[in-house]
Structure 1
Amino acid sequence: MNVRHVLPRIVLLSGVVAIIIWVTLNRDQLNLAAFDAWLSGLDFWAPLAYLGLYAVGTIAFLPGALFALAGGALFGPVWGALLNLVGATIGASLAFLIARYLAGEWVATRTGGRLKRLIDGVEAEGWRFVAFVRLVPLFPFNLTNYALGLTRISFQSYVATSFICMAPGAIAYTWLGHAGREALAGDASAIRYGLLALGLLAAIAFLPRLVRRMRGEKH
């Protein structure tokens, strides 16, 4: 198993565990009602600021899962999922444009041999290959955003395909973040959202096998 691929997941998991432990230890000091009132007072600036942070974080290679969990906790299962999906799409689109028009050489250096695989895949299958790499995480998400900017896929196809195929993951992590918040508040709905999120994540984990089988039958 490649340590470079596993290490980011370990760091992400460690960060989530640390946050859970901190929240658990400081539960009595947290005032969710006051926080909700403060967030509501920001009006439309709150979601706009969140979208901006998510987009910048995606460009800067920050873990999108942490933003998605936060979005679920802050904005709920519906608006949180929508904001997470839009924020991830904006960030992925900006990274694509940066690679295509500003930093092509840097991206080519960072991606190495993986870039050729992406170019060959897009040449052979177009938007279907973009859907494949979104559903099956063969490459790091943030790096893929940049690398796809050096392929011949059109910007419109890239954005539309990314938006649709990133939706399952965005929804799952949003629900998981919302479940954590509801558990902190002592709401019984936390169990329902937690189970739904875990079920969706399990289905996403099964997608690589299903997609590879379908691609194998096709070829």
Structure 2
Amino acid sequence: MGNTAQAGKAGRARFVPLIVIGVAAIIGAATLRDHLTFDALAQNREALIAFRDAHYLWTVLAFMSTYIVIVAFSLPGATLATLTGGFLFGLFPGALFNVTAATIGATAIFLAARWGLGDRLAARMEANPGRIGQMKAALAENELSMLFLIRLVPAVPFFVANILPALVGVHVGRFIFTTFFGIIPGGVVYTWVGAGLGEVFARGETPNLGIIFQPQILGPILGLCALAALPIIIKALRGRKEL
């Protein structure tokens, strides 16, 4: 009986990180949305720049820690955080700080999902001989390509791209690798926009967040998507020829 009770408690404990993330996301959406805005950044820009100039390392650490928490707990403000990184630190090293912090935060939520659900769900998918098992096998066969695709395609929400790999048993090393390099194109674009926020605020305007969908930006990103999908297409064509 004692072992059974302990096993039950251990099983329930696996869900604690996901519950904490869910609760934090709900509270954050309700309380922070009105505070994490462009207006707030514009009003505090001089104080932020002054603090950065006086305490550069502490500013970097505080910024990255905040960014990690925003991503790990799925709080509102990830886009604003990326722009702030460009505003405070320029395109480089701002893009490096942004991508690194986003990858760490994404890995945290990935591990929480995997610990709570991923291993069990992946095992069930592998044991299922039907379509679910076939889908798991297809994902495993083209894992790197699929992981890069869900990072590169602008339409895939960042939260979904963090959770889905955990539910199909993706190795943490591959998740980190594809997350870091897969979010670089979008991260660089928004960091670049953030680097020009000073002039935007001076004109009393708001930044154009739709810039990523403009042809000169979206075209190269879609090209990277096509490159990531190429191994999947080649395997599919080879499979048809063998049939």
Give the TM-score, by structure 2 length: 0.61
Contact in 1 for aligned 2:110/2:165 (Cα 8 Å): yes
Which residue is 1:41 aligned to? 54
Q: CA deviation at 1:104?
A: 1.4
Which residue is 2:153 aligned to? 136
Matched residue type, 1:38: F
Which residue is 1:62 aligned to? 75
Aligned length: 187
Contact in 1 for aligned 2:85/2:97 (Cα 8 Å): yes
Q: Distance in 2 between matches of 1:94 and 1:85?
A: 14
Which residue is 1:202 aligned to? 218
Unaligned runs of 5+ in 2: 1-32, 122-131, 237-243
Q: CA deviation at 1:71?
A: 1.1
Which residue is 2:91 aligned to? 77
Q: CA deviation at 1:168?
A: 0.4
- Structure with bigger gyration radius: 2
Which residue is 1:174 aligned to? 191
CA deviation map 1:49-96 (0-9, x unaligned): 111111111122235322111111122111211110001100111111
Which residue is 2:27 aligned to? none
Unaligned runs of 5+ in 1: 1-14, 109-114
Superposed, 1:75-154 pairs within 5 Å as 75-101=89-115, 103-104=116-117, 119=136, 121-137=138-154, 139-154=156-171
Which residue is 1:12 aligned to? none
Residues 212 and 156 of structure 1, relative CA distance in 2, 3 Å threshold: closer
Contact in 2 for aligned 1:93/1:159 (Cα 8 Å): yes
Matched residue type, 2:188: I
Q: Distance in 2 between matches of 1:40 and 1:174?
A: 19
Residues 152 and 184 of structure 1, relative CA distance in 2, 3 Å threshold: same
Contact in 2 for aligned 1:77/1:178 (Cα 8 Å): yes
Which residue is 2:63 aligned to? 50
Give the TM-score, by structure 1 length: 0.67
Which residue is 1:159 aligned to? 176
Q: Distance in 2 between matches of 1:133 and 1:86?
A: 18
Q: Distance in 2 between matches of 1:140 and 1:126?
A: 18
Residues 209 and 35 of structure 1, relative CA distance in 2, 3 Å threshold: closer
Q: Distance in 2 between matches of 1:130 and 1:117?
A: 18
Q: Distance in 1 between matches of 2:160 and 2:229?
A: 25
CA deviation map 1:15-51 (0-9, x unaligned): 9xx956x48xx98xx6855542222223312111111
Q: Distance in 1 between matches of 2:216 and 2:37?
A: 22
Matched residue type, 1:173: Y
Residues 118 and 36 of structure 1, relative CA distance in 2, 3 Å threshold: farther
Residues 164 and 209 of structure 1, relative CA distance in 2, 3 Å threshold: closer
